[in-house]
Amino acid sequence: MFLPSREPSLTDVPGIPPFEPVRLLTETRLDPLITSAILLAAGLYFWGVRRLAERGVGWPRGRQIAWYVGGLGTLALATTSGLAAYDTVLFSAHMVQHMLLAMVAPIFLALGAPVTLALRALPSGGRSVLVTVLHSRVATFVTFPAVGWLLFVASPFALYFTGWYPATLDSELLHELLHTHFVLVGCIFFWPLIGVDPVPGRVPHPMRVLLLVTTLPIHVILGLTIMSERTVIAADHYNSLGLPWIDPLLDQQVGGGLLWASGDLIGLLMLGAAAVQWKRASDREAVREDRRLDRLEQQAARQATRRATDTGGTPR
């Protein structure tokens, strides 16, 4: 099958300069497709917030910050900054991009609650379509916890230990599809666990904690496996660059270490958040149960009073 080659990038420039933090700004390039998608997402969210405001309904500031800054901002950093310019030059840069797209951006996008916003802002026809999609068999299957977990933990192994990753370095189409894959898999896994939006696949809090706990050793295993490799992943590509300022194998070990450390850090933060959500849900349930018991006690007292009044006795 014919795949179009990548458009000119740093790998096409003789004498690629060493990566430095300042290159996050100086090597910025706006990909038309990615930039348009980010702007479209920002515009639609803004439209929803304004539509609610016109009805006198406010939308939490924290959710807007999560969507614009944490979610779309992370996507922009990963795909249009100098980090993206070096993602085919340095395995470590690619790994940072991987973590931003697969773990950081999806979490903040979920916290922005775009589905809830859409359900409140859309007209009745659009709302009906969205509800139909949310309750479809495809949505139910894709967001089933086991499916999301399997995609999240298995696809990185398939990516780095097959010919999939080397192919993405030489094809613009596969490279963009890989970015899309990272974001979609992250959303499929994290959105039901965060539980802010009414998406299918949400599970009880104990199961959320269990799913998160089981992902922690996966990052350790994958990170250590990459670090212990004695051959360079996608060696033909990286060796062909002939960079005198970096050892591809050493850079690969750095990338594996970043995966291990950042994956576990984000996983632990999510685990802590899930535990807090569980406690708060338990507290709310305890309050509801206390109120229910109070109502039952009051109802029993009123019934006793009526019986005593009907029989002419004195209620105890």
Residues 290-308 pLDDT 10s: 677 778 778 877 787 787 7
pTM passes above 0.75: yes
Q: What is the pLDDT of residues 133-182, one digit of tens each?
A: 999 999 999 988 889 999 999 999 999 999 999 999 989 899 999 999 99
Q: Average per-residue pLDDT in the chain?
A: 86
Rounded (10°) CA dihedral 200, 205, 206, 212: 70
Q: What is the pLDDT of residues 111-130, one digit of tens each?
A: 999 999 999 999 999 999 99
pLDDT band for position 1 (50/70/90)?
A: very low
DSSP conformation letters of 21-64: TTHHHHT----HHHHHHHHHHHHHHHHHHHHHHHTT----HHHH
What is the structure's pLDDT at 112? Answer: 94
Q: What is the pLDDT of residues 242-260, one digit of tens each?
A: 889 999 999 999 999 999 9
What is the structure's pLDDT at 78? Answer: 94
